[in-house]
Amino acid sequence: MSEASRKIRVRCVINGQAVTLETYPLARLLDVLREQAGLTGTKEGCGEGECGACSIEMDGVLVNSCLVPALQADGTTIRTIEGVADRGHLDAVQQAFLTHGGAQCGICTPGMILAALNLLGRTPQPTTAEIREGLAGNLCRCTGYTKIFESVVEACRFARPSS
């Protein structure tokens, strides 16, 4: 039986910090973040790019980290949920989720917040239709989405820190 490929080094910037991680080329970026980088805020819900619980920003663009092979994260800049709050100060989206019931069980919340931030980064004052579409890749089983929309609308009313 032929043996495995050698591990590779993945160099990237995660939440502003340069890191070097050793892993297999086709290991999922999701697992690399959670296991090698110790950033367990990004979650697995389906492993097939349907639920968005694993959403992160890679080079400014929203991606499902369960579908990104580790090798392709080399040289990228990554933001996960752990990089959203600024030294303990919650982002407006996070704050709104707290006051408006955007999080219930919380497992979809990290991905949902990344998706919301990404949406607001592209469209600062989205319509309800744009919010629905921007978050359509993030499944929530608890809230029925209603209070997530309300939270995003609330967050829009405040200036957001730059991403």
- Which residues within the stretch 29-68 sit at the binding site for another protein (CB under 8 A)? 31, 34, 39-53, 55, 61-64, 66-68
Sheet strands side by side (includes 61-64)? 17-23, 8-14, 77-79, 55-58, 61-64
Q: Which of 131, 154, 155, 156 binds another protein (CB under 8 A)?
A: 131
Q: Which of 13, 19, 132, 160 binds another protein (CB under 8 A)?
A: 132
Burial class (CB in 10 A: 0-12, 13-18, 19+), 153: middle
Touching another protein, residues 90-109 (CB under 8 A): 90, 94, 97-109
Taking the complex as a whole, how short is the minimal distance between the CB of residue 5 and another protein, in angstroms? Answer: 4
Size of the site for another protein (CB under 8 A): 82
5 binds another protein (CB under 8 A): yes
Taking the complex as a whole, how short is the minimal distance between the CB of residue 88 and another protein, in angstroms? Answer: 9
β-pair type (61-64, 55-58) = antiparallel
Q: Going along 51-158, which residue ranges are E strands?
A: 55-58, 61-64, 77-79
